[in-house]
Every structure is written in structure tokens, then in C-alpha cells.
Amino acid sequence: MGFTSPLLLVGFLALPLLWILLRAVPPAAIRRRFAGVALLLGLADKTQQADKTPWWLLVLRMMALAAAIVAFAGPVVNPTVGNRASAPLMIVMDGGWADAFDWSRRHAKAASLLEAAETSGRAVALVQLSDPQPPLGFQAASEVRGKLAGFAPRSWQPQALASWRDALPQGPFDTAWISDGLAHSGQAELITALEQHGQVEVFASDHPIYALGPAVQADGKVTLTVQRLAAGLPASVTLIARGPDPAGVERELVRQRVDFAAQDTSAKAQLDLPAELRNRITRFALEGQRSAGAVTLAGDTLKRRKVALVSDTADGEGLQLLSPLHYLRQALAPSSDLLTAGLGDVLPTKPDVIILADAAQVPPAQTAVLRAWVEKGGLLLRFAGPRLAASDMAALAGDPLMPVALRQGGLTSGGAMSWGAPKALAQFGANSLFHGLTVPSDIQVRTQVLAQPDPDLPTRTLAALDDGTPLVTRKALGLGQVVLFHVTASAEWSDLPLSGLFVQMLERLAVSGTSGSAGVDVVAGLIWTPEHVLDGWGDLADPATLAGVPGEALVDTLAQGPSAKVPAGLYRHDGLGLALNAVPVDQPLVGATWPLNIAVQGLTLPSQIVLKGPVLALAMLLLLFDAVATLALTQRLGFVRRVGVGMLLALALLAPSQKAQADAAADQRAIAATQGVVLAYVMTGEPAVDATSAAGLQGLSDQLIYRTTIEPLAPMGVDVEKDEVVFFPFLYWPLTADAPTPSAAGYDKLNHYLRMGGMILFDTRDADVAGVATGSAPTPEGQALQRIAQGLDIPPLAPLPVDHVLTRSFFLLQTFPGRFTEGGLWVEAPPPDAAKTDGMPFRNLNDGVTPVVIGGNDWASAWAVDDNGWPLLPVGRGAAGDQQREYAYRFGINLIMHVLTGNYKSDQVHVPALLERLGK
Amino acid sequence: MTLSPDLRARAEALGQSLPPLLAAAEHLAATVTLGEHGRRRPGRGDDFWQYRPARVGDSLRLIDWRRSARSDQAFVQEREWQAAQSVVLWVDPAQSMDFAGATRPPKSDRARLLALALAVLLLRAGEQVGLAGHPLRARAGKGQMERLVAAMAADLANPPQDYALALPQDFVLQGRAVFISDFLGDLAGLERSLAQAAASGVKGLLLQVLDPEEEDFPFDGRTVFVSMGGSLAHETQSAGDLRAGYLARLAERKARLADLARATGWVYAGHHTGQPATGALLWAYRALEGGW
């Protein structure tokens, strides 16, 4: 028991004074000269004031005052009084991904430690070990509080903690370490250093930590390793693979349970997936584990490219080893889907890569098709050969499907007919795509085709011989590129196809997918720009100003895990994508070990009970008694007695029949809701929001009655948990930050409602700052929307297409303002194959009513009217505001029309067909 | 206590701020001579009123030959009846009139101001003005102003009473009278006076001047109310509770005054010092001007 402001208790000294004051000695009379006194003579006083207050009333009043004094002094049971020590306190948070799952509890714990320190006046230093090391100094707790809000879990682990040791402030201080439960490098040294300064307390969560390793592809199966920190009990987690569906909407693709046996700390999940599905996977995540460690980005790892091998050589009796495609097949087969056919057959299958081995001239019929394919992003890989060398180079000079112009004939060196020795490969230049690959010295190039000297040649050259002759050249064409190896794909002209370098070059060219471990050879030597980074919670974020990372640094982090400089995320170089995950492959989870003298405590907060409210209520109750007693003393209690008895009677009558009344009320409600069209809103529990919703729907109902044949009854509020919703064609759901998530039964009811053709308009009421449309950081309302909508059976959504039926179901509209105008509107996505018919102004979109409409323009506020039908809330300014309100009403009318008439207006698409049929 | 020196000047100023008493008649006849009060009825006077056909009994001297020559009938020119009135003013000299609310002048100040302003206007209009309770004959002319002020000053020298008891009893026959008081004392004297006035054919105005505090009774708490002279006192525990009773009695008193006035052919009006004096002066003015 304690008081937050005990000094106020001095107020008790005033009680005796009050005793004297409250004894109600009548005040001395004022002498007043007044001419009208003649009129006053004979008027009697209505009340005779008592000379003294009865003692019991006095006691009652004193008790009320005493209760008030105690209440304002802030009585607290079990108060948060930290360690009585006055030494400064250092609060250390790990801040790695393992913190993410129960970050709010850690945050609350740190806040409570701060509060305790503030109460006892201790200076505080607050550090997050995963962040770059700040200057460590102690400040007042109130100063540090703001810093805590800036902390967030990172996608990397704290590293090199030993270096923090040297930066510790001088002098004694205590430490509270809120640990994520994992061991970090240098942790032991840091603890030892901290213990030399003072007492160290450790707080850790009991939440199990799961980590998901990178996906490895082997034998057509995708294997993922799930690790957990503590063995002991059997457990199971659910692995979810996500990726875009054919319509481009990200959704869950695969779900698989991963079981841990009692003693296992790691388990493997094997996914055997069709190639189409596997190629689409962008990330794996463990369900219910919200942290970067439980997320694995797929990157390009899982993509198996479809490579088409085209050779003009008639497949026949030739020796396999002499086939120009043999080495390519060998190199590509493990990581790609191969297709061997003529060019005409290959193109319709939409391959990622087409390899032309020694084909001089593409048949003119297919040139245009092939070129179009390349310009759309295809990679055309060509190899030289005897036929190319022998072809008419002049005719090839302007060929866009050839990266450089070639000289007639070729160059043969080191043969019986030439002076020179076979050429070796030069090291790759820094600008080359192949930079960083080691060139084996034993590769010899005996014959090659030669490029015409050209100003563009150096920039197009990817690899050259040691005398500078280009060996591999490349030219961009549209979105795609054309690459020419100036040698054959077989070992005929050079040793290159025999070497490992050949495979690596193909990987670099993104001809073949990188193998599961993302080999060092692919990564090193290139600059990788971060495309997306993972935050601590496992969500993708914008990398902002993060600089590109040299491949060598990336190789280290791939093995050891990301760091602040190289955070986890998706990195890209040219066409190559690389996923850097929070948990590196083959790195086991190691639990933190603490010295034996340090007890590890849980994250529970001290259960402090603040008594201010109840005591203040007691004071109020006493004052109420005082009022009644005063009334009784002045014989004015009759009225109060009558009212009181009436209320007691009413309570007594109400109590037993409550249940029966509830049923009857539900029936009444159902009857009221089915008397006509009733617009309904979901009650959020915030009175202001609910009142606005009711007033808004009332305003919309009024407008519908004025302008359309829809004549809704008074709108009703709906509690999705308790009330039946199927009666309502339309639910308006304003979202508040702390809107409760519906229960399973509630979700069942809502999903049933949506399936039966109901519509819900979700309104985040934040002008779409929620970023539903933009994908920026969500507001609290936006998060509530995500949370609530997760359990709903909602089809893929898309921003409202301009030809959606909502834009013309009653009024012709292209804007949908409420109180705000900026926010976009999301509705069920149109089918991907929706196409515009000739002569029709719009496409034939969804057949049916979109089950949800999502936006943030706060429509109810714009619609809201008061009891007299006047607008309740201001919208915009002046005439523009009136117009905005008018458009808000029009949107509402369109929406209700859409709800009630479905795609009726879209059926106009069929009018020409019907007319034609009638004509016949 | 002396008459505040600027009282007369203020009275003059107030009188000048108003149109003269005959302003209403000015557009009717620009020829009205100052001092003559048009009665808007035929009678003795200098101004042309109307032609009327001559009747039996009209002397030949009255016939307007010029008009009659234009027709076959004889016409008589009638003149507007003009006569000067005699007005007696009475300003309550009692101490109750000295009551003043916050930041306001006492009622007596306002009462004298109104009386003098009225006198200025009446004298300017040529009426005969006198002050009741003084051996001062009602006379016309500017010199009368001096005498009125002197008489009023002499009034102040008399030993004051708490409430006025003696009201004027002698009136000029068919004259006019203006009583300005708070009428908070005993009404018996007033009744007698009005009866006498009615008997003499005198009509007049009762102007009750009150302080806003007397109208609103904004008092509360335990209070002892003492009359201005100290002769009456009333104690109460809670003055606020008396408000309703007091206001009822005040309303009753006003109704009684209005009844008295109506019964004797007088006119009653209330005025309080929170209002500008102009309103009351205008009213008194109109009331005197209105034909009886």
C-alpha cells in the first residue's frame, strides 16, 4: 500500500477546521439601506436555517472529505517501487527478430521499469543491442521514455556485443536485461562487464522461439528446416507458403504441418509442388509466429526456369557428345525445366530462356515473333558454331537478334594451320556481369567468331580472351536481352563448356536458377541493391536509403545471418534476385546462458492496483448520502422517496424476466429489420462512432427516399457477436483502432452473410492514410482492418476499376468522397480475362455484387444528419463542401443500388447481342 | 445637501436635445406663434382653421367677405383655438428618493432633472409652470425658470421625511399637474390629492421613478433592510427568498397607481434610473401634449 502523492494527505489537517466551519453558524446580517423596505414589511422568511448541523451529518461530511483527500493522494496497493537502490539503471533490450513475437510485452516491461525508475528518481540508460551502438550515458527516465517508442525488433541479431563492453559508462549502475532468449556473440563478456558495475537482472519470455531456415530445392522438392529453441515436448507448427495467384493477388499457396518429436530441436518440411505453383512462391512463414526469423523469402531460389533448347541440327544419328546441346543440357538439367524443339514449337510455350545453338539465321517468319518475345523480357542465348561462322555476315549485320556485328569467317588459333597458341580467358572486368568468378587457367579457346570493331563493343562485352577478343557479348533489346557466346556450346571450339565456369556463367545470366545454397560464386563480385528489406516482424519494407552491398559482404551474411549494414531482405543485381533471410542456413538456435547468480525473471508486470477511482467513488457516495440526509432534515424527502421507491420497484420487476425479454427483444428486432429495407451498421462500442454511423445511415436513407424508389426504414445498429445479420442487405462497418476481433462464431456468421450476398462497407475513416490503397505504413485503423478482415472470406480485391458497375448503378460517378476525398476504393477484383467488347463503353466485369467495399473516406460523417435533417458534421468548405457532400450521397445511393440490384447495369453489355438475336 | 450646480445646465441640455413641445404641430402650421398651444379645434386664436357656412347667430363682423364673394353662400372664417395651460410640477422631496443603486445617481436627481426639463420645454412653449408646495404662482416666461430652480433649492432646506406624506392639495382650476415620485410610501396622501385634483378638473401625470435595484431586488443572504431615513427596518435570513414576495407587492403597487390614475383621468408611467431620461421626458411631453 502506498500513495502516489502522499503530500496531499496533509489535507487531513484541514478536517478540524471544517468541523468548525460546517457547524453552520448563521452568517452575520448585512445592513442595507433600501427605499423599498416599506414593501418588505410583513414578508416572512420561507425557511428557518438550522443553527447547528446534527453531529451525524457532520461526521458523514467529514468522512466524505477524508475519502476525497485519500483518493487524491493516490492510494496504490502493491505499488511499483523498483529496487530501492538509487544507482542508475541500464535497461538493455536485445531487439533481434526473436523479440518480435511478444514485443509488446517486452515494450511494456521496459516501460514499467522506466516508470519504476522515474518514481524512485533513478537515472536511466536505454539501449537496444541490435542497433548501432549509441553513446551510453544516463539520463532522467522521462527523457528516455521517447527513445523507447523508437525501438523495434530488427531482422538481424545483436552482434559483437563484446565491443559494447568498452563503451559502458563509468561508476556503479544496475542493469535490467530484457533478453530474447537467444545467445548472441559476445554476450557472456558483456554480462561479465555489467556485473562488475552492479546488479544484473534478466527478464525473458517463456514463449517458444521458432526459426525457419532458407528453402532448399533438391530433387524437385523444396525442403525447409524449422528449428526451435527448447526441446522437451512434442510440438507442431504450420508452415505456409505465400505467393501471387494467377490474378497477381498475394495469397496462401501451400500449408503444411511440421511436427517436432519430443526431443527434436529441428524438423524438416518437404514440399512436393507442381512447378507452376513452386515458381510463384515468394515467401514461407510459420503461422502464428510473427517475426523475421519465422519468415523465409524465396527470392529466385525456387524458380525453375523454362529453358528452350533450339538446334537446327537435325536430331539424328550423331554422337550424343558431339551434340551442340549436350553440355547445355548437362549444365541446366538440375536447375531448369528443359524443352527441346524447333523454334516454332517453342515460342508458344512461353519459355524464360531460348537458347539457339549455332543458328545463323532465324527463319524470317519467326524473327518478328522472337523479337517480340525478347522485347517482352525474354533472354535469347546464342552460341556460335560452324554454320554461324560460315553464314553471310553482311546479312547478319543489322540483325537485332545478334548483339554485335560479326566478321566473316572466324578465328582459329593454335591449330595446325595457325601460328598462335590457343587463347585463354582474361579475368572478368569490374563492370562485367561475371565479375568475381574465378577463371580456371586451363580453359583454351581454339576457335571463335570475331566481332566487328564498334564503339559499343566494349560495353557489350561480358567476357573476353586474354588478348581482348570478345568471347561473350550482350545487347539489351526491349525488356529482354540477347547474349552471344562466340564459341560453340560443345567442346568443339573451346574447353569452356567443360568447365565449372560455364555453369556459373549460366547462373549469372539467370539462365539457370541458383542452387539452394546460393553459391558464393554467384554472389561475389557483384554489387547487390536491396529491393525490399525485412523488418523484425517479418514484413517487407522499403529499403529507403540503404546502399548497395558488395557480394563479398553478402557471402558472409549468408553464412552468418544479416546485420544492421546488410539487413535481411531481397537483393537484386540486374536480373538476379537473391533472398537474404534472418536465419542463415545450417545455423542452429542457441539459447542464452546466464551466470548462475543471475535469476531469470518472466516478463510479468507488477500487478499494481490503483485505488483512486474506488475511493473517489466512495467519497461521491457519501456526498450522495449527505444530500439525501440534508433533504430529509429539511422535510423535502417526499419526492425523492417516491422516485427511489419507483426505481427499486422497476429494478425488482426487471430482474427475473430479463432472459425472456432478451428473446422477445431479438424477435422484435427481427420483425423490425424485415419490415422493409434496413441499412445497418456495426456497433464499434465507441458511442461517438456509433452515433455518427446511425446518423449517417439515417441521412443516406433520407436521400434514398427522396431520390429513388428505395425507401429504407430507420437504420439499425448491429452487434456482430449477438445479433443476426442476415436481414440486412448492407452493413456499414466503421473501424476503430481497438475494434474487437470477432469470435469464431462471429466470423462464421459474417462469412455466411457474405456468401448469402450481403455486402460490408469497411470504412477506416482515416482518408486512406491506412494505406489500403498505397501500401504505406498502416494506421491503427488500417491494422484493425487487416486484423478483422483476415478471418473473413473475402475474394481478391482491386482498386475500383473505372468501368465498375458502382460508377453507374444510379448516378454516373468517378469520385467517391466522404468527409475525405483522397482515399481510394477497393472492391472485388475483376476477373483477369475481362476484356472490352467492341462498341461497349465498359467491360463485362464480375457477375455479382462485390461482397466488400473497403475505403477510408469516413462516409457516415458526410451522410450524417441530425433529427431535423440538417447535416450534422461539416464537410469541406463552402459550396465545394456542399458539392462534396452531394457526391458522398450519390456514392451512397450508387452503393445501395448496387447492393439491391446487383450487376443489373452491367447487363447492358448484352444489349447488342439481344438486339441482334431479336432482329433475326 | 445642495442642488447639484450642474442640474440646471443639464436640464437645459436635455430640453434642447428634444424637439420643442410643438414640434408635432410644426409641419401643420408654420405660423403657430411661440407660446400658443394649438388645440386643433376651432376657437379663439390667430391662425386660420377653416371656412364654414355662416349660421344663424353669427355676427356679420365674422363673415369673411372675400370667401363669400366667390359663391352664393356666406362663409365664416374660423380660427384655431389657442390657449396657454397652467402646469403644476411636484417632485417628491422625501429621503426615499435619495436611494441610489451601484454607480447610478439617486432617484431624486433624476426626478428633478425630469421636472426641470419638462419645465424648460413647457416654458419655451409658452405654458405657465408652477411648483407645488410653494407660494409660487404658475407663470410663463423664461424668468420663471430661475424661480423654479430657486424654489427647488429651497425645498432641499426643509427637514426631510422618510416618505412623502404631504402632497399638493390646491390646484389651478382646469390646470395640469405632474407628480414625480417613487410612490413607495403610504398612498393615502396621493389618493386625497388626486380626489382634490379631480374635483378641480385638473388632470395630470404620475411618473414613478425607481432604481433598477428596486425593480429587481438583487439581494441575497442574511440582511437587515433599513429605510433611507432609518424609520423602518426589516430583517431576513435569506433575502433571496423574499424576492418573489417583494416583486409581487411592487407589481401590486404599480397596478394600484395605474388604477388610481385611470379613475381620476390621470396617466401613470414608470421609469427607472437605469434608463435614459429622454424616454421619460418624451413620454411626459406626449402625455401633456395629448388633448384632454
Indicate which of A34, A45, A46 best probes the interface with B, i.e. most B CBs within 10 Å of its own CB.
A34
Which pLDDT band holds residue A732 (cuts at 50, 70, 90)? very high
DSSP B97-141: GG---TTS--HHHHHHHHHHHHHHHHHHTT-EEEETTSS---B-S
Taking only the tens place, the pLDDT of each residue in A673-729 is: 888 889 999 988 888 899 999 999 999 999 999 999 989 998 999 888 888 888 888
pLDDT value, residue A773: 47
Residue A245: burial class (beta carbons within 10 Å; 0-12, 13-18, 19+): middle
Q: For chains A and B, what is the number of CB pairs under 8 angstroms?
A: 92
pLDDT, one tens digit per residue, over B71-81 is 888 998 887 76
Q: Do B234 and A31 touch (CB under 8 A)?
A: no
Q: For B243, which residue in chain A has the nearest alpha carbon?
A: A40
Give me the mean pLDDT over the A276-286 stretch. Answer: 83
Contact A679, A728 (CB under 8 A): yes
Measured between beta carbons, which residues in chain A are less than 8 angstroms from residue B237? 26, 45, 47-49
How does residue A891 score in pLDDT terms, banded at 50, 70 and 90? very high
Asked whether residue B107 carries a pLDDT value surpassing 70, the answer given is yes
Contact between A170 and A161 (Cβ < 8 Å): no
A879 pLDDT higher than 60: yes
The grid coordinates of residue A918 equal 431479336
Compute how many other C-beta atoms are within 10 angstroms of the C-beta atom of residue A889: 21
Strand partners, A853: A761
* Confidence at residue A390, expressed as pLDDT on a 0 to 100 scale: 76
Contacts of A26 in chain B (CB under 8 A): 222, 237
**C-beta of residue A310 within 8 angstroms of C-beta of residue A301:** no
Residue A62 has what pLDDT? Answer: 85
Range list of β-strands (E), chain B: 38-42, 48-53, 75-82, 86-91, 128-131, 176-181, 203-210, 223-226, 233-236, 267-272
- Going by pLDDT thresholds of 50, 70 and 90, the confidence category of residue A601 is confident
Of the candidates A28, A36, A49, the beta carbon closest to that of B246 is on: A36
Phi and psi at A3, nearest 5°, equal -125, 140
Tell me which residue in A31, A33, A45 faces B99 most closely, judged by beta carbons: A33
Mean pLDDT of all residues in B28-45: 46
B270 touches chain A (CB under 8 A): no
Q: Give the span between the Cα atoms of A510 and A665, in whole angstroms.
A: 68
Q: Which three cell numbers stand for residue A850?
A: 462485390
Q: Which of A810, A813, A829 is nearest to A821 (CA)?
A: A813
Residues B212/A34, Cβ–Cβ less than 8 Å = no
pLDDT digits (tens, 9 = 90+) for A809-850: 888 888 888 888 877 788 888 777 666 665 555 665 555 678
Task: Indicate left, alpha or beta for A869 from its phi (over 0: left) and psi (-120 to 50: alpha).
Answer: left
Tell me which residues of chain B, numbers 83 to 122, contact chain A at a CB-CB cutoff of 8 Å. Answer: 96-97, 99, 107
Contacts with A40 from chain B: Cβ below 8 Å: 225, 234, 236, 242, 245-246, 249
C-beta separation of A290 from A786 below 8 A: no
pLDDT band at A84 (very low <50, low <70, confident <90, very high): low
Shortest Cα–Cα distance, B21 to chain A (Å): 34
Burial class (CB in 10 A: 0-12, 13-18, 19+), A590: exposed
Cβ-nearest to B246 among A29, A32, A40: A40
pLDDT at B256: 92
Q: Which bin fits A347, alpha (ψ -120 to 50), beta or left (φ > 0)?
A: alpha
pLDDT exceeds 50 at position A311: yes
What is residue A346's predicted lDDT score, i.e. its pLDDT?
Answer: 81
What is residue A136's three-state secondary structure? coil
Position A668 scores a pLDDT of 85
With cell 537484386, the residue in question is A572
User: What is the pLDDT at residue A889?
Assistant: 93
Residue B220 forms contact with A (CB below 8 Å): no
Interface of chain A toward chain B, CB-CB under 8 angstroms: 26-41, 43, 45-49
Closest CB to B250: pick one of A39, A47, A48. A39
At A515 the pLDDT is 44
Selected for mutation to probe chain A from B99, B213, B234, B235 (highest A CB count within 10 Å) is B234
* Three cell numbers, residue A13: 489537517
The shortest CB-CB distance from B99 to any of A26, A31, A35 is to A35
**Residues of chain A positioned with their CB less than 8 A from the CB of B224:** 29-32
Mean pLDDT of A35-63: 75
Cell reading at A808: 453507374
pLDDT at A416: 64
pLDDT-wise least confident of A346-355, B190-199, B250-259:
A346-355
Give me the mean pLDDT over the B170-185 stretch: 83
On the question of pLDDT at B13 being above 70, the answer is no
Choose, out of A30, A37, A45, the residue to mutate when testing the contact with B (most B CBs < 10 Å).
Answer: A37
Quote the CA–CA distance of A383 and A511 in Å, as a whole number: 14
Out of A186-200, B59-73, B94-108, B145-159, least confident range = B145-159
With beta carbons under 8 A apart, name residues in chain A contacting B111: none
Residues on chain A touching B215 (C-beta within 8 angstroms) = none
Judged by CB atoms within 8 Å, which residues 163-192 of B form the interface with A?
163, 182, 184-185
**Residues in chain A within 8 Å Cβ distance of B245:** 40, 43
Nine cell digits for residue A336: 531448369
pLDDT of A229-262, one tens digit each?
A: 877 788 888 888 888 877 777 788 888 888 888 8
Q: What is the mean pLDDT of residues B245-273?
A: 89
Q: How far is A42 from chain B (nearest CA, A)?
A: 8
What's the CA angle centered on B231, arms B226 and B235, to 5 degrees? 35
Unique residue bearing C-alpha cell 427568498? B241
- Angle (CA) B163-B169-B174 rounded to 5° is 130
Q: For the whole model, what pTM was predicted?
A: 0.46
Determine whether the interchain pair A31/B241 forms a contact, defined as Cβ–Cβ distance below 8 Å. no
B221–A contact, CB cutoff 8 A: yes
Evaluate if residue A512 carries a pLDDT over 70: no
Closest residue to B219, CB basis, from A27, A32, A46: A32
pLDDT digit string, tens, across residues A395-451: 666 777 888 888 776 777 766 666 677 888 888 887 777 887 888 888 888 888 888
What are the tens digits of pLDDT across the range A349-404? 878 888 888 776 677 778 888 888 888 878 888 888 877 777 776 666 677 788 88
Q: What is the ipTM of this complex?
A: 0.72
User: CA-CA distance, A419 to A68, in Å (whole number)?
Assistant: 110
For chain A, the average pLDDT equals 80
- Confidence at residue A784, expressed as pLDDT on a 0 to 100 scale: 82
Q: Does B250 touch chain A (CB under 8 A)?
A: yes
Give the gap in angstroms from C-alpha B95 to the nearest C-alpha of chain A.
9
Higher pLDDT, B116 or B22: B116
Are residues A36 and B214, on separate chains, in Cβ contact within 8 Å? yes
Cell of A529: 541493391
Judging by beta carbons within 10 Å of its beta carbon (0-12, 13-18, 19+), is residue A517 exposed, middle or buried? middle
In this prediction, residue B21 carries a pLDDT of 31
Q: Tell me: the pLDDT tens digits for A844-866?
A: 555 567 888 888 888 999 999 98
Sort residue B228 into left (φ over 0), alpha (ψ -120 to 50) or beta.
Answer: alpha
Task: Encode pLDDT of A316-331 as tens digits.
Answer: 455 556 677 788 888 8
Smallest Cβ–Cβ distance between A37 and the set B211, B227, B250 belongs to B227
β-strand pairing of A461-464 with A221-228: unpaired
pLDDT at B23 over 70: no
How would residue B157 be classed by pLDDT, with cut points 50, 70 and 90? low
- Residue A271 reports pLDDT greater than 80: yes
Residue A334 confidence (pLDDT) above 90: no
Predicted pLDDT of residue B116: 79
Condensed to tens digits (0 to 9), the pLDDT of residues A163-218 reads 888 888 888 888 888 888 888 888 888 888 888 888 888 888 888 888 888 887 77
In the block, which residue shows the cell 418573489? Answer: B244
